[in-house]
Amino acid sequence: MNRGSWTGVYSCDEGDFLYGYNLKSQPDQGSLTDDTAANALRMYCRQSSDDYLESPGNKWGSWLEPSFCRSGMGVCGLMTLVQEDQGTFGDDTALNDVRFLCCDLP
């Protein structure tokens, strides 16, 4: 079953590390409406909210507040919140949230 398509590869410049992210997400729209949940992701390669990589997305939802690792740390892991298949008449949203884990930089 096709539930989307992969984008290209996004990566920080050599010598930079991923420091933070924010998610574009649509909240629950209530019954009898189509929920979209996570729609795009911004990834920050420096500790600046002006310098980021952004995945393609769509018009639904709004950008949540960015989250950054503390000084001297970078992203080293990822957790995802994924909704289970909701069955024949359910509204599947798939990815609903992400959390990045921070570790000390080398």
**Domain range 20-104, CATH class:** mainly beta
Residue range 62-97, pLDDT digits in tens? 888 889 999 999 999 988 877 666 666 566 666 777
Report percent pLDDT > 70 for the chain.
Answer: 73
Question: Alpha-carbon dihedral of residues 54, 57, 63, 66, nearest 10 degrees?
Answer: -30
Q: Please state, in angstroms and as integers, the Cα–Cα distance from residue 86 to each residue in 31, 41, 90, 95, following that order.
A: 13, 24, 4, 13
pTM above 0.75, yes or no: no
